[in-house]
Amino acid sequence: MPVEFRKDLFADERDDNLAEIGKPHIRQDILGHVTGRSPYYDDHLFDGLLHLRCVRAPYHHARVRSVDASAAERVPGVVRIIRPSDVPQNLNTLLALLNFGRDDEPLLTPEKTGYRGEPILAVVATSEAAARDAVAQVKVDWEELPHVLDVEEALKPGAPIVNTTYPNNTFDYHDRYDHQKLRFGDTEAAFAQADHIVEGEYQMSPIEQAPIETCGAIASPETNDRFVCYTSTQALFFSVAVSAKQTALPSSRLHFIGGTVGGGFGGKVDSHHEPLAILGAMLTGHPVKYQWDRAEEMQVGAPRSGERWRIKDGVMRDGRIIAREFTGFFDAGAYTRLTSYGVQKCTGHLPGPYTIPNVASNTYCVYTNRTPSTAMRGFGITGVDFSIECQMDRVAEAVGMDPIELRILNAYRDGDMKAHRRTAKNCALIESCQVVAQKSGWALSPDAMAQSSRVGGGAGWRAEIPETVIDHAGQIGERRRNWIDTEPFAGATQRDRIAAGTANEHPATGNAPQRDDMVIEAERLGFKVSDGPPAGAPSYGTRATAPTPPAAPSFTPPQTPTPPVGAPVPYPNAGPSLPPAARGAPAASPPVSAAPPTPPSPTTPSPQPAPTVSTTPPSAPAGSQDQAPRAPRRPGVSRFISGPRGRR
């Protein structure tokens, strides 16, 4: 069978022969590599170069009672001690550049350290040896604090507070939720119908990127009132912005040179060397190098986060997975770095490349007293993919099925609706499975070999967004105040499980979107949205400041949450017998009529748009005015990302 490449998307972009694959090419930078002339950051020589090294916390969690650096200052060769108070803007978080998360990590920690190796003081000296001597001479009076190293321990009430910016030991998504949530269909109803329930727990340790070139930077005053900085960074513009912020210099005074990286793998995205080296150059007037040694690279360098996953599948006798629930924990370590983003990325990836009609997940970005974790090669995806594929093997075992055929049976096919409400396109899992089986001499049934990603998808229930059950458990602080379980729908009968089809009136979902393309698309949620101001009014920016936002935790749903017990779970009898839900017919009706407006429930205080701020003519009816530029809308079609708009 010829290998089929899914080239639809790139048909007009390059040749279809892929003749390059498997053949060596001459890299444009390789002459420098084989002659040893590629200019890594440390390959720049400076007269009078000073060396910077840090005093680091010896405990997982500790408080600095006092620091005595007088002996260190007397070590021959020591030029300057840099203290936390010397850093113009000490607190930072990388993704603050994208307005995502709070500044939670000091460059030099003044008081409480959250992980072993956290820097509290920097020494600048004329030689590396002198800097090491001086670091050893700094006397710190440490008060060791109780620490927590396990993600689930950290979520319990009474666990030590790792990061005072996030006192619940979880990243606060949208300042409202302690986790990322995915809800699609009704997993609980489907579990009740499944022939088998298959559960598994999986875990992945943190992984250090371990580049052969350790992280570092050299900064030096230039003659034009700027500072030049040679750096190993993988993300030069992150580094410029972070350095400008923490040194309080305009970025026009920073001259960054990077681009030759001795191995990165994600570990050189966080920028801690550049601001400290520049600060050293500012305070001493000399070139300063801040280079990690190997021990620092391994102990202090931010790894890929450890992850723990629990997966629960509802499976029919024939191997069809009808429901899948995830509970996931990402170990951020003591500070956020990029883990908050990894969790989001991961949630968008669930439930793996399989068409499953009922999916629910709760995924947590948890702080523990371990080394902060960050980017590494597919972070957010790799750990859960490992878990999902292990789980698929367990499912195959439970139903007595060939593991590859099980994957082919459940694989995404073109046109299928994914749990995150996008249509699957250019699927190739089935073909990949067939090629793998073929190449490894694994016999597949003729039926499995005949399957195709292009056939059988996108019809009936496979193309539908099912009526979706939601819950609002897990708002900030809830978990710490009164212990509630971490699984999706845990304790949901008491804790506002909101049945499929009921209006989504919970105030917590009323976050004001930042841009108009983030306005709720009712037809892509799976539950009906009231037609009040939240759905269409152009005055979103004012909603956040509406005078009487109801207190979140005291909410009771407007209708009695009765899970649709008898309701048919969209199980793949596939054929035309399953009536498509009214709004799901993809082609025809415009979205205005597709989502029948529900009058705002009188029991729920719906925030009133402030009348003054809107820049649009007040006479325009809210709904129609907003809808006009946003049509046409179909499930799975975004005017921003996919489709002809983006391609031609």
The Cα 146–Cα 369 span in angstroms is 10
Contact segment (CB under 8 A) with other proteins among 108-116, 258-266, 423-431, 625-633 equals: 258-266
Yes or no: say if 37 and 259 are a contact pair by the CB < 8 Å rule: no
Q: Applying CB under 8 A, does 18 fall inside the site for other proteins?
A: no
CB of 124 to other proteins, least distance (A): 18
CB of 247 to other proteins, least distance (A): 26
Beta pairing partners, 304: 207, 374
- The secondary structure of 153-190 as a DSSP string is HHHSTT---S-TTSTTSB--BTTTBSSEEEEES-HHHH
CB of 37 to other proteins, least distance (A): 8
Q: Applying CB under 8 A, does 20 fall inside the site for other proteins?
A: no
Q: Helix 273-284 to helix 236-247 angle, to the nearest 10 degrees?
A: 40
Cis peptide bond N-terminal to 563, omega within 30: no
Interacting residue with other proteins among 264, 380, 456, 635 (CB under 8 A): 264
Nearer to other proteins, 286 or 349 (CB): 286
Yes or no: say if 143 and 63 are a contact pair by the CB < 8 Å rule: yes
What are the start-end ranges of the E strands in 292-348? 307-315, 321-333
If DSSP states are collapsed to H, E and C, what string results for 528-561?
CCCCCHHHHCCCHHHHCCCCCCCCCCCCCCCCCC
CB-based contacts of 240: which residues, under 8 Å, 6+ apart?
Answer: 251, 254, 256
In residues, how long is the chain? Answer: 648
Nearer to other proteins, 205 or 251 (CB): 205
Interacting residue with other proteins among 4, 7, 38, 585 (CB under 8 A): 38
CB-based contacts of 551: which residues, under 8 Å, 6+ apart?
Answer: none
Interacting residue with other proteins among 3, 8, 18, 33 (CB under 8 A): 33
Residues 117-136 interacting with other proteins (rule: CB under 8 A): 129
- The label of the residue with tokens 């073909």 reads 431
CB of 33 to other proteins, least distance (A): 3
Nearer to other proteins, 24 or 441 (CB): 24
Q: Applying CB under 8 A, does 22 fall inside the site for other proteins?
A: no
Tokens of 398: 């439970």
| String marking each residue 172-211 x if it binds other proteins according to CB under 8 A | -------------------------------------xxx
Number of chain positions touching other proteins (CB under 8 A): 34
Contact segment (CB under 8 A) with other proteins among 76-84, 110-118, 261-269, 552-560 equals: 261-269
**Residues 473, 474, 475: CA angle, nearest 5 degrees:** 105
Q: Applying CB under 8 A, does 19 fall inside the site for other proteins?
A: no
Radius of gyration of the chain (CA): 28
Nearer to other proteins, 295 or 443 (CB): 295
| String marking each residue 289-318 x if it binds other proteins according to CB under 8 A | --x-xx------------------------
Amino acid found at 277: A
Nearer to other proteins, 296 or 521 (CB): 296
Q: Applying CB under 8 A, does 431 fall inside the site for other proteins?
A: no
Q: Applying CB under 8 A, does 532 fall inside the site for other proteins?
A: no
CB of 69 to other proteins, least distance (A): 24
Tokens of 176: 């409202």
Residue numbers at the binding site for other proteins (CB under 8 A): 24-27, 29-38, 40, 42-43, 45, 129, 209-214, 260-265, 291, 293-294
